[in-house]
Chains A and B, each alone.
Chain A
């Protein structure tokens, strides 16, 4: 069983993100919502319809950009628009222009780049003025400029009243776009809320990094004992301090007192990614960077 006892509300007019580890059941959930997969049990209503028994009424109202799907290789872009246009369709040429595909109207699907394919799927998802848009791995394979274009289009769509369900691994995308985010693990929603609330609840760890050749042992010892500091690691001249957000002021003050002010001090405040990792790791409140640090542990209270 991939998804079990899932409780998920997507209020009309909101952009809701679905995040979680690979295999958490996000795509399965989205497939159930679209009626591509039949839930064994439970009640599922999408825009007031049952996705399995009322698929014919529901599907014209839902636009989706599916993960791992394709179009026929030799289908041209303009032909794809023609094929997928219903009576509700908006001007396809305008959409192609908005997503920078006008020049590719006559190109066949197999000749499009990964990013062009993604943008074409998005055009097709928006083509028939859907009330709900489901986007699975929306900006995978897009360059930064194309990502911004897509984000703007999603915001504009939402301003027009369309509800958006976004499945993503890109936490910056979820933070930038979503009103609410639901975090899935092993088929359940383990927490949901505004991105800022999730960060507050599950990732209060800040990380301070700076370089200091030959740091005085006493300085490090003092930093380690500051209120809120959980861990100090050293790798060569690089020193990393982790702890509650309030350590930032304390650590900086200590460095100034010792007159050892580094040029490269950098502070990472926790984001949605840290909140997700915190949640998925069972709320141990580890910062995102912890997993990749291979420094010598020179102090800390675990």
Chain B
């Protein structure tokens, strides 16, 4: 069966590189917004950014934007449009087990995230510089865990939402508030208390904390990391149940 998954992953990867939604939303959008907002607050250490360089704060935050764009927008729209148009039926009739398609999406989602993150860092490096990583071990655990969590959420949303349009609407509705409150928007210190309370428990906020704090030396963010780990396990389990035949 590994060849089945292999054939699916190969085809899906080729298709990803031809999909304008993926190219704009997962690759271009985080880079462009990172360049804009990373330059908006200057490069001098700022108390609003926990005394760090605001540009570095945003560089360390934006890898999770890529992860959220993949999980909340790209995968749900992709999967829902496949189901809507009968592509999944055709795969099923041709003997591809449903789980093989879910695994292929997981692999493709993780690979897309990895490539988009690398690209984002490559663009950030000459412009703002890449901040030194204080606690590489924690960052290295948080990023893949977060990617698994969001890709699983994406597979789950894609299996629940009835059409590509519905997936796009729900996906964007989940993505933009998460993006503004939890990763790419204003730092928590300048947020009002209500907004801060809403932002705190959002999955993307937890993930961004778990990556940014150890990266910039602002703490261990163990609580956030545990939250992300629980989310990853739960979302993967539910997604696997939904997509198993």
In this assembly, does A72 line the interface, its C-beta being within 8 Å of a C-beta of chain B?
A: yes
In this assembly, does A156 line the interface, its C-beta being within 8 Å of a C-beta of chain B?
A: no
In this assembly, does A70 line the interface, its C-beta being within 8 Å of a C-beta of chain B?
A: yes
Among the 9-residue stretches B6-14, B29-37, B132-140, B228-236, the one with 4 or more Cβ atoms under 8 Å from chain A is: B6-14
Identify the closest chain A residue to B88 (Cβ).
A69
Identify the closest chain A residue to B18 (Cβ).
A74
Please state if B7 and A83 are interface contacts (CB–CB under 8 Å). yes
Taking CB atoms and an 8 Å cut-off, the chain B residues in 66-96 that contact chain A are 82, 85-87, 89-90, 92-95
Please state if A124 and B94 are interface contacts (CB–CB under 8 Å). yes
Total number of B residues with any Cβ neighbor in A under 8 Å: 20
From B18, B87, B97, contact of A69 by CB (8 A):
B87
Cβ contacts A57-79/B at 8 Å (1 or 0 each): 00110101010111110110001
Determine the chain B residues whose CB is within 8 A of the CB of A59 once the complex forms: 93-95
Please state if A83 and B11 are interface contacts (CB–CB under 8 Å). yes
User: Closest approach, in angstroms, between the C-beta of B34 and any C-beta of chain A?
Assistant: 28
Determine the chain A residues whose CB is within 8 A of the CB of B95 once the complex forms: 55-56, 59-60, 86
From B8, B18, B87, B97, contact of A70 by CB (8 A):
B87
Determine the chain B residues whose CB is within 8 A of the CB of A60 once the complex forms: 95
From A66, A70, A71, A79, contact of B14 by CB (8 A):
A79
Known contacts A56-B97, A124-B94; A72 and B86 CB within 8 A of each other: no
In this assembly, does B46 line the interface, its C-beta being within 8 Å of a C-beta of chain A?
A: no
Please state if A84 and B94 are interface contacts (CB–CB under 8 Å). yes
User: Closest approach, in angstroms, between the C-beta of B63 and any C-beta of chain A?
Assistant: 27
Taking CB atoms and an 8 Å cut-off, the chain B residues in 8-47 that contact chain A are 8, 10-11, 14-15, 18-19
Identify the closest chain A residue to B86 (Cβ).
A69
Cβ contacts A74-107/B at 8 Å (1 or 0 each): 1100010011111000000000000000000000
User: Closest approach, in angstroms, between the C-beta of A58 and any C-beta of chain B?
Assistant: 9
Cβ contacts A181-204/B at 8 Å (1 or 0 each): 000000000000000000000000
Determine the chain A residues whose CB is within 8 A of the CB of B85 once the complex forms: 69-70
Please state if B89 and A69 are interface contacts (CB–CB under 8 Å). yes
From A55, A66, A74, A79, contact of B86 by CB (8 A):
A66
Cα separation A79 to B95 with both chains bound (whole Å): 17
Taking CB atoms and an 8 Å cut-off, the chain B residues in 182-223 that contact chain A are none
Cα separation A217 to B89 with both chains bound (whole Å): 62
Determine the chain A residues whose CB is within 8 A of the CB of B15 once the complex forms: 72, 74-75
20 contacts between A and B (CB under 8 A): A36-B89, A36-B92, A55-B95, A56-B97, A64-B94, A66-B86, A68-B86, A69-B85, A69-B86, A69-B93, A70-B87, A72-B15, A72-B82, A74-B15, A74-B18, A74-B19, A79-B11, A83-B7, A83-B11, A86-B95
Hey, which bits of chain B sit against chain A, CB under 8 A? 7-8, 10-11, 14-15, 18-19, 82, 85-87, 89-90, 92-95, 97, 245
